[in-house]
Chain A
Amino acid sequence: SQQGEEDPQALSIQEGENATMNCSYKTSINNLQWYRQNSGRGLVHLILIRSNEREKHSGRLRVTLDTSKKSSSLLITASRAADTASYFCATDASGANSKLTFGKGITLSVRP
């Protein structure tokens, strides 16, 4: 079963605009991670935010985490056509057996 549920399922924006993607999860976590996948290829790690962090930045990426609402958002600023990909949130749940549970992903299309 999927722990992370991303929203929206698909997003289409113009180059230069900002893209905001949301993720909700169900159980306590150690950290939450965002990954990108270009069509049919391997996933690329974007950013990791720990449960005691509220916001993190990496280049054009900004991630927030609200553990009380069990939700996270990924903001990509000044989007580029090369940002077109699927984006997944993944949760590393609390507990001894740590494994990543992925959501179904968000398809982002950035129009040139």
Chain B
Amino acid sequence: DSGVTQTPKHLITATGQRVTLRCSPRSGDLSVYWYQQSLDQGLQFLIQYYNGEERAKGNILERFSAQQFPDLHSELNLSSLELGDSALYFCASSPQSGRSEQFFGPGTRLTVL
């Protein structure tokens, strides 16, 4: 158990809908990272927050947004969902911003029908 929690574990929704994925980092970790894992694209970095502020951005679509709250939990919002958004979404946390190992949550499996 990494200490990172993600909810929900599974999510099934329809195209065009909007969903919110939630992540609670390990106690004391200030950085939260979001990744998308799919069969064709592999593991892709989406976005990083450090102590409430966006720190790095990766291959995140404009339809996706994220934020980190004062209690350091983070949410990833996915809107206007398409079939291709079906994937595993992982959250990871680390004590600082980069330069160290990341602790991954169990993931949210999103299925868009």
Contact = CB atoms under 8 A, between A and B. Distances in A.
Interface of A: 2, 30-31, 33, 35, 40-45, 48, 88, 92, 97-105
Main secondary structure of the interface of B (DSSP, over half): strand
Nearest to A88: B43
Contacts of A45: 101-104
B88 interface: yes
Contacts of A44: 2, 104
Contact of B98 (A43, A99, A103): A99
Q: Interface extent on B, as a size class?
A: 20 to 34
A43 B35 CA distance: 11
Contact of A97 (B55, B102, B106): B55
A100 B104 contact: no
Interface in B32-76: 33, 35, 42-45, 48, 55-56, 58
Given A41-B106, A41-B107, A99-B58, A33 B101 contact: yes
